[in-house]
Amino acid sequence: MSEDKIFDIEFECESKFYKGWVIPSEKLYADGLPASFHVVLDKVSFGYLSYTNFKWTSDEQRPAALVEAVGKQILERYKLIN
């Protein structure tokens, strides 16, 4: 993994501010979006997120609202939403 693909995220979810970074996988879907993303929030591993059929899933038990908020940050990075 090249370090230049890692990107920072920061956002608010349910009145709490989060800051962290995302490491995209090397494997890409046909549309160019990485198959999964390792996410670290507030210096703690949040887990791996995947985006399939327009839905975010996590390999860890995490609050749905937080998974969606992280996913939104990722999609904004890849300019798939405004």
Whole-angstrom Cα distance, residue 7 to residue 56? 18
Query: Per-domain residue ranges for the chain?
Result: 3-77
Q: How far apart are CA 7 and CA 61, in angstroms?
A: 23
For the record, the structure tokens of 66 come out as 């937080």
- Answer for the pair 25, 43: CB distance below 8 angstroms, yes or no: no
Gap between the Cα atoms of 5 and 23, Å rounded:
7
pLDDT in tens, 2-56: 577 899 999 999 999 999 999 999 999 888 889 999 999 999 999 999 998 889 9
Which pTM was predicted?
A: 0.89
Name the strands in the sheet holding 44-52, side by side, starting at the edge strand that comes first in the sequence: 7-13, 16-24, 37-41, 44-52, 55-58
In this prediction, residue 2 carries a pLDDT of 57
